[in-house]
């Protein structure tokens, strides 16, 4: 199996000792009045400090306003600074290492944020370019001499850098998967690469296709994928454990034309990223399950990725069709561009039978309505369990990913009723909420959170630590959520 096409990340070393007399150093300064920092290259500048070449970057360490649950992203200022430095060096074509002192230029408790921003801002997504832009140079974090081998600063810095590197690698993997072009990324290609990633992380994987999907009752997956010459697949992966059972489901639509309910041409090229939810789920599960030491190994993790290509053809599914999902529930199709919920319904129902989960989380670029409501930087949380929703928000704030909770009101539940089937696939009304209410019928009453990332999964520009096109959003939140379920067991 070939690797996922990618660009390398810089390496980061932690070194104990004084600054060298030569080489580039990083220094910080307060932001200019009236300016708005966004991690852009112009927020850093090459200069000379104490006779030594340096990159000076503006840092605003002010914490933003709390989110709906009170969670605060206190690291955003240093992530922005790290990204700005990396982009400045990348665009200037600098080579050779750059060093930063911690404590010194950056506090010990924020060094992880700076490193994460630096790594994620260090490369673009020009993976397929013949002459890609060079990646930013390697980073050295220098810890001044302390009291001995067990100096607390060095221990803290090494732990923060290691965590930032893991988070950056997971985010980069999700970006690379989502950014791959659809002529390469068929459902078969996608689940094959994902299976390899999860197997390497210690999960047991299998891929369902053809008769396995028919026999398993995957009517939604087969309907959506029926219009494409690239046949659908479903990836199932599990790492058993004695602890709580968690089911993660990610939408894996490798390209979405909208089907017969066809999308406008403008922006359709970005539909290669319509499997960003599955990329986040797989990257997070791989990062989490690769940690086989300590209490985190106890969590029982299952991943299900339904993957299909939603195309127009004589065999495409139609508005008005009635589709039977895993478990026998039927859906009346009213819009073939609401294909994500069709495949997720199958995956949720199958995953619940597969692992009898205590917690269910699905992630999807599901609705344009979510993007209209919350914009391009905030994900939507819809949950049947208050504790689970709060945990998502807290994990996101710690990881630098912003979430806002939307309701699942009782008065809208009748919207998904159908006169000809069990459920109506795409009713009128507030689209992000009615999509979640449709999916609620497939989670068997389990504690469930639905994460709609239609806005923040993509970006039109480099902003903060986010790259253009695919952002990898939700990956770091999921890793934090899985760890939190172990650190603070649910009652």
Q: Which residues are catalytic?
A: 263, 341
Three-state DSSP class for 45?
Answer: strand
Does a cis peptide bond (omega within 30 degrees of 0) precede residue 227? no
Q: Beta strands of 105-251 (E only): which ranges? A: 139-143, 204-208, 233-239, 245-250
Measured CA to CA, the distance from residue 239 to residue 205 in angstroms comes to 9
Distance CA 249, CA 276 (A): 12
Specify whether the backbone of 362 is left (phi greater than 0), alpha (psi in -120 to 50) or beta.
beta
Calculate the dihedral angle through the C-alpha atoms of 177, 485, 116, 5, rounding to the nearest 10 degrees.
Answer: -10
Contact 102, 108 (CB under 8 A): yes
Tokens 């002010």 correspond to what residue?
62
Q: Which helix (H) or strand (E) holds 451?
A: strand 448-452
Residue in 329, 406, 391, 323 with CA at minimum distance from that of residue 361: 391
* Nearest residue to 300 via CA among 354, 351, 353, 239: 239
Q: Give the Cα separation of 474 and 82 in Å (integer).
A: 20
Gap between the Cα atoms of 205 and 203, Å rounded: 6
| Bridge partners for 282 per DSSP | none
Residue keyed to tokens 């850098």: 161
Backbone angles phi, psi at 29, to 5 degrees: -145, 160
Nearest to 319 by CA among 329, 332, 305: 332
- How many other β-carbons are positioned within 10 Å of the β-carbon of residue 374? 21
Residues whose CB is less than 8 angstroms from the CB of residue 114 and which lie 6 or more positions away in sequence, other chains included: 78, 79, 81, 82, 100, 106
In the sheet that holds 24-29, the strands lie side by side as 12-16, 139-143, 98-101, 24-29, 52-58, 44-49
Per residue, the 3-state secondary structure of 282-349, as one string, reads HHHHHHHHCCCCCHHHHCEEEEEEEEEEECCCCCCCCCCCEEECCCCCEEECCCCCCHHHHHHHHHHH
Q: What is the DSSP string of 117-146?
A: HHHHHS--S-TT-SSPPPPPPPEEEEEPP-
């Amino acid at each position: 199996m070939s690797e996922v096409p990618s660009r390398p990340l810089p390496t980061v070393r932690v070194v104990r000792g004084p600054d060298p007399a030569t080489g580039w150093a990083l220094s910080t300064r307060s932001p200019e009045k009236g300016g708005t920092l966004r991690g852009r290259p112009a927020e850093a500048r090459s200069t000379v400090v104490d006779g030594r070449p340096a990159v000076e970057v503006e840092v605003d360490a002010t914490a933003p306003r709390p989110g709906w649950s009170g969670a605060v992203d206190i690291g955003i200022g240093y992530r922005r600074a790290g990204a700005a430095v990396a982009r400045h060096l990348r665009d200037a074509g600098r080579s050779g290492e750059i060093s930063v002192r911690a404590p010194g230029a950056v506090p010990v408790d924020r060094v992880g944020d700076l490193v994460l921003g630096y790594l994620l801002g260090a490369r673009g997504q020009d993976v397929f370019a013949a002459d890609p832009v060079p990646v930013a140079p390697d980073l050295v974090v220098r810890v001044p001499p302390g009291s001995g081998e067990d100096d607390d600063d060095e221990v803290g810095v090494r732990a923060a850098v290691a965590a930032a590197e893991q988070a950056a690698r997971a985010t980069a993997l999700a970006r690379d998967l989502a950014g791959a072009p659809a002529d390469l990324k068929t459902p078969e290609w996608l689940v094959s690469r994902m299976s390899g990633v999860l197997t390497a992380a210690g999960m047991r994987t299998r891929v369902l296709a053809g008769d396995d999907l028919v026999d398993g009752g995957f009517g939604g997956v087969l309907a959506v994928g029926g219009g494409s010459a690239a046949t659908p697949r479903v990836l199932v992966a599990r790492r058993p454990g004695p602890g709580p059972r968690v089911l993660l489901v990610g939408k894996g639509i490798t390209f979405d034309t909208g089907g017969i309910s066809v999308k406008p041409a403008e922006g359709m090229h970005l539909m290669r990223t319509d499997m960003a939810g599955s990329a986040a789920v797989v990257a997070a599960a791989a990062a989490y399950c690769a940690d086989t030491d300590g209490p985190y190994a106890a969590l029982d993790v299952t991943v299900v990725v339904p993957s299909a290509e939603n195309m127009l053809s004589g065999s495409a599914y139609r508005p008005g069709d009635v589709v039977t999902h895993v478990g026998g529930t039927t859906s009346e199709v009213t819009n073939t561009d609401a294909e994500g919920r069709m495949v997720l319904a199958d995956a949720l129902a199958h995953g619940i039978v597969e692992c009898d989960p205590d917690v269910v989380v699905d992630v999807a670029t599901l609705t344009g309505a979510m993007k209209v409501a919350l914009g391009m930087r905030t994900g939507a949380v819809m949950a049947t369990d208050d504790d689970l929703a709060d945990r998502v928000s807290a994990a996101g704030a710690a990881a630098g990913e912003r979430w806002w909770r939307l309701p699942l009101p009782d008065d809208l539940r009748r919207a998904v009723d159908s006169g000809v089937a069990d459920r109506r696939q795409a009713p009128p009304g507030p689209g992000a909420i009615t999509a979640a209410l449709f999916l609620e019928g497939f989670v068997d009453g389990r504690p469930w959170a639905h994460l709609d990332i239609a806005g923040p999964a993509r970006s039109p520009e480099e902003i903060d630590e986010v790259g253009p096109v695919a952002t990898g959003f939700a990956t770091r939140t999921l890793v934090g959520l899985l760890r939190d379920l172990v650190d603070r067991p649910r009652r």
